[in-house]
Chain A
């Protein structure tokens, strides 16, 4: 199995997942059900995470088919650019969905302004992702191409899609890459600083601190994760070639997804956060906390090994 297989496996999830998550979210607003709201927000957050490997595996699929007869470079790059815009909107939607879940635990309700923001972002993301999916389908399905002749014969000058223009800006502007590297480490410090604090408390360290007080720190971890998603995507868009053949990168991405799943456990379930000072967490929560630490150390390790195991940089 290579990245082309993974892209084919994943590429329907963002569109269909947002239809299901968005539909459930609309239903939750009509029925005014908090449980439905939280369930739909978890779906939107999960799909936003899954959209990252979906986008990145697309470059592997591009690599596999770009030399095939009848495959248009301009269609591929148009799809790549549309997918990048849709990915951006999906990640922002996921961020507000996470914020709503955090607000619900703290305030026992989600502020109306955030409910409205999520609704608008979900609809926009769904529209943009549907457009990107359709453009992806046109690459190998001539029967659905609206402008088959024009697209396949686009001049080379027009073939540079949005993603390639962003990529050129990242690699050709001297200060962009080192700035993103610095911000990537700042994001990492924020994320792991908070995550390890929460996990160590679950495991019995600083037992005098209540989970409720640690809950207040979670937005710092979320902002750190957001910074790392943005800078990570920029690195990838800059030079996709050094990641799509890199085993260390595959492992890093897989571990980030698992760590994200682990974070959803701590965001969604009530048990860890209902415990006061001196109270012990359940064995299940302790296992989740220990596995989070292992997963994030794995992410760090794979990120550090990118140049050594996969010949990046």
Chain B
């Protein structure tokens, strides 16, 4: 794997994972909050 391709693939992959983790956490907590508040 070349330097440029390797860095770009891993950085994009990691950034997508970070965004996905933050989104899922935010949505699931908001849903739980709505459920708890009736």
**Which residues of A pack against B, CB within 8 Å?**
99, 103, 106-109, 111, 174-175, 178-179, 182-183, 186, 190, 216, 219-220, 223, 227
Contact call A175/B18, Cβ cutoff below 8 A: no
Name B8-34 residues within 8 Å CB distance of A. Answer: 10-11, 14-15, 18, 21-22, 25-26, 29, 32-33
- Verify if B6 is at the interface (C-beta below 8 Å from A): yes
Given A103-B29, A107-B29, A111-B32, does the pair A179, B11 have CB atoms closer than 8 Å? yes
**Which residues of B pack against A, CB within 8 Å?**
1, 3, 6-7, 10-11, 14-15, 18, 21-22, 25-26, 29, 32-33, 36
Cα(A220)–Cα(B29), bound, Å = 14
Question: Across the interface, which residues of B come within 8 angstroms of A190, CB to CB?
Answer: 18
Contact call B22/A106, Cβ cutoff below 8 A: no
Cα(A260)–Cα(B25), bound, Å = 22
Contact call A175/B32, Cβ cutoff below 8 A: no
Majority secondary structure of chain A interface residues (helix, strand, loop or mixed): helix
Interface centre among A108, A109, A178, A179 (most CB of B within 10 A): A179
Contact call A186/B15, Cβ cutoff below 8 A: yes
Contact call A175/B29, Cβ cutoff below 8 A: no
Question: Across the interface, which residues of A come within 8 angstroms of B11, CB to CB?
Answer: 179, 182-183, 186
Question: Across the interface, which residues of B come within 8 angstroms of A106, CB to CB?
Answer: 29, 33
Q: How far is the CB of B2 from chain A (nearest CB, A)?
A: 8
Cα(A220)–Cα(B25), bound, Å = 10
Contact call A186/B3, Cβ cutoff below 8 A: no
Cα(A106)–Cα(B3), bound, Å = 43
Given A107-B33, A219-B26, does the pair A178, B7 have CB atoms closer than 8 Å? yes
Question: Across the interface, which residues of A come within 8 angstroms of B3, CB to CB?
Answer: 174-175, 178
Cα(A175)–Cα(B26), bound, Å = 32
Q: How far is the CB of A157 from chain B (nearest CB, A)?
A: 28
Find B6's partner among A99, A108, A179 (CB 8 Å cutoff): A179
Cα(A186)–Cα(B15), bound, Å = 8
| 16 additional A-B residue pairs with CB within 8 Å, beyond A179-B10, A183-B11, A219-B25 | A106-B29, A106-B33, A107-B29, A107-B32, A107-B33, A107-B36, A111-B32, A175-B1, A175-B7, A178-B3, A178-B7, A179-B11, A179-B14, A186-B11, A186-B15, A216-B26
Contact call B6/A219, Cβ cutoff below 8 A: no
Q: How far is the CB of B15 from chain A (nearest CB, A)?
A: 6
Instruction: Name which residue of chain B comes closest to A186, CB basis.
Output: B15
Question: Across the interface, which residues of B come within 8 angstroms of A182, CB to CB?
Answer: 7, 11
Contact call A223/B10, Cβ cutoff below 8 A: no
Contact call B22/A223, Cβ cutoff below 8 A: yes
Instruction: Name which residue of chain B comes closest to A182, CB basis.
Output: B11
Cα(A186)–Cα(B1), bound, Å = 23
Please provide the 3 A-B residue pairs with the shortest distance between their CB atoms, ordered closest to farther. A175-B6, A179-B10, A179-B7
Cα(A223)–Cα(B1), bound, Å = 28
Question: Across the interface, which residues of B come within 8 angstroms of A186, CB to CB?
Answer: 11, 14-15, 18
Contact call B6/A174, Cβ cutoff below 8 A: yes
Question: Across the interface, which residues of B come within 8 angstroms of A179, CB to CB?
Answer: 6-7, 10-11, 14
Cα(A109)–Cα(B33), bound, Å = 10
Cα(A183)–Cα(B7), bound, Å = 10
Question: Across the interface, which residues of A come within 8 angstroms of B36, CB to CB?
Answer: 107-109
